[in-house]
């Protein structure tokens, strides 16, 4: 009974995490760390910063500007936009969901959410059922079938949970009532996020015009991501393709379109390289302190370092790699201590789907399990390297 309850809890958690991940989600910008106040200057506890109640915000000016700009940009009648917005609702549940800070779980806790027996066996059965269609897409785009299946398993449990929020409500809420903390240090980021969702709301109207969808009936995640692969409206417009040549791009009901669109996203947005590796286990030897010793490199950066440069920094892959390939090094907090990996452009392509090294690693390792290649190798505890801080990536 306890095991079943734990399994249900783990599955529910994985759904919540997966539906917050989508293509393309804006990369998070870390908030500045406030300077500590010396005890001698502090005479009373600082007041808590409370969210600004959304019902107190006047959105009439911004809403009118949105209608005018969207009508002009996409050639849609203003009255049509107004009529659709009149059906949209500001939902407190969406604001609450977006207000919750993302948990930066260590890899040892994040991995079990997605690499479950249910996802592995379910993915293998799904791959077997749709092998021909997936093989066709793999041949065309170069993205392995198991990677596509792993994405769908992580995002929506193979279509089992594509989200229940009206997309128009999700985007309307976040476009005009993105949650505010009242913290001046976070204002710029909150403004940028609201602008992102306002653009996505406009893109939703354009998507409706292009596809004939009644956008008032579409459902998805609380962030407005849709379909089996959880595409935002801009990604739907840019990367969704007609995989079965029926004249439609349907990511809700057509698996041919879903498979081809996920692969197309990897190629066009992520720069997927046919036949190239994704990531490789690596050993790390601490940088020498002697003159002429190894040069530290940045962790989690772009895959621009040669294998020789990585070796000089103390990182050596545990398997043969193609000559001339470039890579980046990452560190994950594993069960037995820190794990080190070399990651390549195809890892970056998965990362582009959701801005997280843990997400990309989970997708790759789940794909390996689905393909029947067994669990990834995990190194034991190794001393941490003296490396520079990551540049602009949280790795959450």
Catalytic residues: 155
Beta bridge partners of 317: 282
The span from the CA of 362 to the CA of 375, in Å, is 11
Three-class DSSP labels, 15-34: HHHHHCCCECCCCCCCCCCC
Q: Specify whether the CB–CB gap between 149 and 223 falls below 8 A.
A: no
Would you say 146 and 127 are in contact if contact means Cβ atoms under 8 Å apart?
A: yes
**Residue 342 three-state SS:** strand
Q: Which helix (H) or strand (E) holds 331?
A: strand 326-334
User: Tokens representing 268?
Assistant: 């066009």
Cα–Cα distance for residue pair 23/382, rounded to 1 Å = 34
Cα 260 from Cα 227, distance rounded (Å): 13
3-class SS of residue 298: strand
DSSP structural state of residue 217: S
Q: Measured between alpha carbons, how far is 48 from 18 in angstroms, rounded to an integer?
A: 31
């Amino acid at each position: 009974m306890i095991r079943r309850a734990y399994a249900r809890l783990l599955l529910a958690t994985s759904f919540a995490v997966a539906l917050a991940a989508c293509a393309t989600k804006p990369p998070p910008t870390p908030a500045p760390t406030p300077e500590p106040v010396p005890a001698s200057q502090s005479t009373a506890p600082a007041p808590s910063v409370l969210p600004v109640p959304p019902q107190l915000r006047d959105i009439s000016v911004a809403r009118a500007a949105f209608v005018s700009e969207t009508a002009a940009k996409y050639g849609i009648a203003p009255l049509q936009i107004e009529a659709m917005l009149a059906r949209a609702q500001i939902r407190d549940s969406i604001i609450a969901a977006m207000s919750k800070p993302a948990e930066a779980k260590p890899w040892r806790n994040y991995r079990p959410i997605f690499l479950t027996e249910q996802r592995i066996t379910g993915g293998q059965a799904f791959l077997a059922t749709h092998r021909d269609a997936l093989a066709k897409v793999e041949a065309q785009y170069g993205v392995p079938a198991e990677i596509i299946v792993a994405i769908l398993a992580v995002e929506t449990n193979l279509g089992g949970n594509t989200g229940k929020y009206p997309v128009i409500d999700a985007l309307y809420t976040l476009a005009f009532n993105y949650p505010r903390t009242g913290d001046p240090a976070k204002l710029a980021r909150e403004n940028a996020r609201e602008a992102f969702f306002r653009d996505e709301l406009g893109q939703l109207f354009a998507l409706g015009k292009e596809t004939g969808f009644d956008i008032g009936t579409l459902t998805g995640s609380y962030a407005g991501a849709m379909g089996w692969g959880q595409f935002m409206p801009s990604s739907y417009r840019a990367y969704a393709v007609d995989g079965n040549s029926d004249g439609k791009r349907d990511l809700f009901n057509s698996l041919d379109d879903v498979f081809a669109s996920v692969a197309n996203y990897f190629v066009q947005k992520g720069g997927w390289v046919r036949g190239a590796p994704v990531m490789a286990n690596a050993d790390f030897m601490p940088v020498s302190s002697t003159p002429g010793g190894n040069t530290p490199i940045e962790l989690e950066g772009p895959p621009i370092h040669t294998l020789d440069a990585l070796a000089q920094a103390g990182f050596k892959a545990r398997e043969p790699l193609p000559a001339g390939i470039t890579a980046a090094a990452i560190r994950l907090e594993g069960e037995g201590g820190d794990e080190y990996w070399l990651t390549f452009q195809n890892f970056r392509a998965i990362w582009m789907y959701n801005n997280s090294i843990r997400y990309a690693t989970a997708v790759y390792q789940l794909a390996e399990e689905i393909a029947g290649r067994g669990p990834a190798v995990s190194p034991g505890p190794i001393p941490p390297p003296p490396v520079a801080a990551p540049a602009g990536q949280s790795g959450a």
